[in-house]
Each structure stands twice: as structure tokens, then as C-alpha cells.
Amino acid sequence: MSHPEINTEKSAAQPPQDLLHLNRLHRGSLGAYSIARLLRESHGVLEQPLECHEQYGLLLALEFICYDLYAHHEKEIDRAEGGGNE
């Protein structure tokens, strides 16, 4: 009786982890763009400008998203330069 081959490929039913991470970063990028655009448009254009605490909350979200994007790209640069073994 022969032993079945071990398949190390990912199942088609579940996307690879990298794809899930890239989708998350893509949504984060779109969110960062939307937040920046809303903050820019809120300066004198909106009928009811954003209050200080609303602007601050949006800036915190923007900071979090941008840091996550920065960390991802820093890791990718390190991997491309041969410094990371993942």
C-alpha cells in the first residue's frame, strides 16, 4: 500500500494569508484616503463643520492606518533586501 502524498499547497477554499493581509491593507489605504479627504473637505466646505473631538478621532484612525501600512512596507523592504526570513 502506498502512502498518500503530502500536499503543502493552500486550499482553494481559503485564500492564502498574504492575500488576506493585502486585502486588509488595501481597505486600510482606502480608509486613510477617505479620512484625509473628509478632513480636507471639512475646512469651510461642509454646512456643519466637524467638531474638535470628531477631527481628533479621525486623525487617530488615520494615524493607526498609516502606521500599519508603514510597518507592512518596511517589512517588505527588509524582506526584499534579504533581511527577513518568513
pLDDT for residue 9: 59
| pLDDT tens digit sequence for 29-53 | 999 999 988 888 887 666 777 888 9
Q: Is the CB of residue 25 less than 8 Å from the CB of residue 64? A: no
Please choose, from the candidates 62, 58, 54, the residue with its C-alpha nearest in 3D space to the C-alpha of residue 28. Answer: 62
pLDDT of residue 6: 58
> Cα 51 vs. chain centroid, distance in angstroms?
27
pTM of the model: 0.64
Question: Which pairs count as long-range contacts for 30-36, CB under 8 Å and 24+ apart, including other chains?
Answer: 31/61, 31/65, 32/62, 32/65, 32/66, 32/69, 35/61, 35/62, 35/65, 36/62
